[in-house]
Copies of this chain bind each other. A is one copy, B any other.
């Protein structure tokens, strides 16, 4: 158990989620949930493979994407500390629809699907909470769709930067304090749903307007208010 102190850390932003467990159940969860420190660009699971585990992101960030026949990857979402990854597949008993890959160093707990389903059968409150999470997941996908459909690259970029660099709700979640990993242009572009070239132009346009400072690999926000307004 002591060995899994880190995993109870895993349940830290997720603590509320598992707060409804009985001590015995919590122990069971702790003993089978295996926390793992990933390095950058490691994958948690692959599109199309059976959903064996639910992943709780403790620290770091994870991108979810599908690979098209053409080989290019379409990112459908990014998850950070406190988020669950792979919930849908586990709950519905269907294969993962996306590949999950860390964007930087990350700590992630893997909760075996069987364990989760067992807990879920015993504890209705947990079921309700997970349901809420699944609903959130569905909503996020929809939001993402609307955003891509309607917003231009500029707006999407601004929105991304706000979410990525701003510990907006830093007040609430302490572990989010960690600096977001510096991304390459290629990767950042994919997360936003554009190309490195277009991203570069957009970024420099923002810099010219005094919103950002571009230094080496680092992006510093100079005018958060204007940036947020740009994100609408």
Q: A residues within 8 Å of B by Cβ? A: 66, 68, 72, 74, 76, 88-89, 91-94, 97-98, 121, 124, 127, 131-132, 134-139, 141-142, 144-146, 148-150, 193
Cα distance, A142 to B97, chains bound together (Å): 9
Q: What are the residues of chain B within 8 A of A141 when measuring CB–CB?
A: 138, 141-142, 145
Task: Show 19 A/B contacts (Cβ-Cβ < 8 Å), sorted by A.
Answer: A66-B146, A68-B146, A74-B146, A74-B149, A76-B146, A88-B135, A88-B139, A91-B135, A92-B132, A92-B135, A94-B135, A94-B139, A97-B139, A121-B124, A131-B131, A134-B135, A141-B142, A148-B148, A148-B149
Q: Which of chain B's residues have a CB closer than 8 A to the CB of A144?
A: 145
Contact B88 A150 (CB under 8 A): no
Residue of B nearest to A134 (CB): B134
A145→B76 contact, CB < 8 A: yes
Bound-state CA distance A74–B147 (Å) is 10
Chain B residue nearest to A98 in the complex (CB):
B142
Shortest CB distance A69–B (Å): 8
Shortest A91–chain B CB gap in Å is 5
Q: Write out the residue numbers on chain B whose beta carbons fall within 8 Å of the beta carbon of A121.
A: 124
A148 proximity list for chain B (CB < 8 A): 145, 148-149
Contact in complex: B145, A88 (CB < 8 Å): no
Query: Which residue on B lies nearest to A97, using beta carbons?
Result: B139
**Closest Cβ neighbor of A129 among chain B residues:** B92
Q: Identify 14 new A-B residue pairs, CB closer than 8 A, beyond the known A68-B150, A97-B139.
A: A74-B145, A74-B146, A76-B142, A92-B135, A93-B132, A97-B142, A131-B131, A134-B138, A138-B141, A141-B142, A141-B145, A145-B145, A148-B148, A148-B149
